[in-house]
Structure 1
């Protein structure tokens, strides 16, 4: 399932930078900052050297609380410190990150400070510039995929954190309030929906809309493929279930980019033409149904549903059952929105909107055990 041509037509062709209004920052500093974070997040905090990276906070039962970027910096005494970047969108399920970290300080020589009012987070990308990405992957029998980097992939260009969750994502910068990122002189300034579309086309989930706090499992949310999980580090919150899944579990769902369109197929609908396009919101269930009448014998309806996540311009991200995706690739199944808006065909008939996923171009094509 390659990226549909109608989706490629949406790609913003000019270098773009966007201020991410929903991102907040918590500073963790002090002589034991690295040790403190290492016991809480799902990747190893290497010290020395002092470096930036992508990671996540997990609940004790192994579900995701926040996916985060950890920016290496210096405190007022020029000592190593970390700025933890996370999605601060209000949700009833997510515990606030600042008090969550404060509860774990205890006697550690660590200072935790909310610095969201001091800094802004910007993303920047240039679709004409190729970025090197991991070329080697390992895959467990149960479907877990790990990138293997020959060198540290994050933060390799000055103070910018290289976003290596997927090839082509660009860089992230933390700048002082009122300042502008280095890319502002060479890039066009976009709006948050431009970044959302950029993420969706690259198949990158992020934040509470795509990775619901205390509900999402890390591997189903592609955190393994994007480099946010270390299955070999020491003890951290949520490690037990995560490592058990790594050794004995089976990944049955993944988040994939999807195209939302009326029948009969994705190429028959021009995205953005404004004709019969409903306001499709996130959170809708996605049902898999048979595309043809079964042959002899009783054939059970596909079990379970998917979930539509972030959407913009009739593309989005969706959590889908992999067995249903396989059925769609064989031509046996199709996806449609449950209780979704209807579109009107040329002959006046009302039809449900279909959901067509695709595998991002960067997704690893590896054999089990390689």
Structure 2
């Protein structure tokens, strides 16, 4: 199934050149107030209580049925007062802010969708960028994704002027090579459980904390080991990808679907049992008529005999 051994070494990614990339497809929500930590901890999948100023975690808000409404990065920007910054796909931002407001009830929190003038910048392969006029955090998903900068565009532009100014495709190429999916780009959020997007493998689900929306379903899936679909790294063997959403097949069976493609790389959401059956049968796995190689992301701890 894969042209490489099933080890866990980091996935390849583009050559390291210090680069700043503005991600205009992302939006920022600020949650502040005395109850902010407890409020977010009761709603989101991650351990928000364990955050300290300057740290962050991947997290998700789920439906009561345990499916993802939105995945996000949550950072503790607290100083004198509690403040959390939520970095989320712009397509989900208004709905997320509305749902957070809906759940606020009497909690002492404010919820603000920040204006589009607030820049969100990913810095790859760069020394630590700091400044008094903006926030800087390490990306909690993988050190290879560098830093996230939030604040006035002019201030961040000045602080990163010595870096190459890159395009979002460079960031997504790195992310995809690492096998780190994002909702709305790689998978349909309303159809996907956290395990299927590897959120449990990326530190986005805390199985020890108290209740959050959808917890019962997610905990049952974890303890019964019923997660059959996983996000895996895909490489197209002819050098070109296919359209996002294309089916992954082996013989006459559909194994899963392709996420966003950059170059010859993508993330596939694949049924592990069917992938193992294809491996035993010696069947070629392909998508859009193109043979593909499949690898397990370097961070993944789940067990599979096929990659």
TM-score, normalised by the number of residues in structure 2 = 0.84
Counterpart-to-counterpart distance in 2, 1:15 and 1:183: 13
**What do residues 12-47 of structure 1 show as CA deviations (whole Å, max 9, x unaligned)?**
331222111111111111111111111110012227
Q: 1:286 aligns to what?
A: 248
Counterpart-to-counterpart distance in 1, 2:50 and 2:256: 41
Matched, 1:358 2:271: no
Counterpart-to-counterpart distance in 2, 1:33 and 1:84: 12
Q: 1:105 aligns to what?
A: 104
Q: 1:83 aligns to what?
A: 85
Counterpart-to-counterpart distance in 2, 1:316 and 1:122: 23
Q: Secondary structure at the match of 1:325?
A: helix
Matched, 1:64 2:68: yes
Q: 1:117 aligns to what?
A: 116
**Number of residue equivalences:** 292
Is the Cα–Cα contact under 8 Å of residues 175 and 181 in structure 1 kept in the other structure?
no
* 1:232 positional shift: 0.9
* 1:85 positional shift: 0.9
Change in CA separation of 1:123 and 1:48 when aligned onto 2, cut-off 3 Å: closer
* 1:367 positional shift: 9.9
**Gapped regions of structure 1 (runs ≥ 5):** 130-157, 261-265, 272-276, 290-300, 341-351
**Gapped regions of structure 2 (runs ≥ 5):** 6-10, 128-133
Change in CA separation of 1:192 and 1:28 when aligned onto 2, cut-off 3 Å: same
**What do residues 304-355 of structure 1 show as CA deviations (whole Å, max 9, x unaligned)?**
4311111111321110111233345557122222xx3xxxxxxxxxxx2222
Matched, 1:54 2:58: yes
Q: 2:282 aligns to what?
A: 332
Counterpart-to-counterpart distance in 1, 2:293 and 2:178: 15
Q: 1:293 aligns to what?
A: none
Counterpart-to-counterpart distance in 2, 1:183 and 1:308: 37
Note the 1:132-171 alignment, pairs <5 A.
159-171=135-147
* 1:167 positional shift: 4.9
Matched, 1:217 2:193: yes
Could you say which structure has the larger radius of gyration? Answer: 1
* 1:241 positional shift: 0.6
Matched, 1:256 2:260: no
Is the Cα–Cα contact under 8 Å of residues 86 and 207 in structure 1 kept in the other structure?
no
Counterpart-to-counterpart distance in 1, 2:304 and 2:243: 36
Matched, 1:240 2:177: no
TM-score, normalised by the number of residues in structure 1 = 0.71
Counterpart-to-counterpart distance in 2, 1:11 and 1:167: 14
Is the Cα–Cα contact under 8 Å of residues 336 and 353 in structure 1 kept in the other structure?
yes
* 1:366 positional shift: 7.3
| Structural RMSD (CA) | 3.0
Is the Cα–Cα contact under 8 Å of residues 124 and 183 in structure 1 kept in the other structure?
no
Counterpart-to-counterpart distance in 1, 2:232 and 2:86: 26
Is the Cα–Cα contact under 8 Å of residues 201 and 299 in structure 2 kept in the other structure?
no
Note the 1:157-236 alignment, pairs <5 A.
159-180=135-156, 184-236=160-212
Q: Secondary structure at the match of 2:15?
A: coil
* 1:115 positional shift: 0.6
Is the Cα–Cα contact under 8 Å of residues 186 and 244 in structure 2 kept in the other structure?
no
Change in CA separation of 1:249 and 1:203 when aligned onto 2, cut-off 3 Å: same
Matched, 1:26 2:29: yes
Change in CA separation of 1:182 and 1:170 when aligned onto 2, cut-off 3 Å: farther
Higher helix proportion, which one? 2
* 1:179 positional shift: 2.6
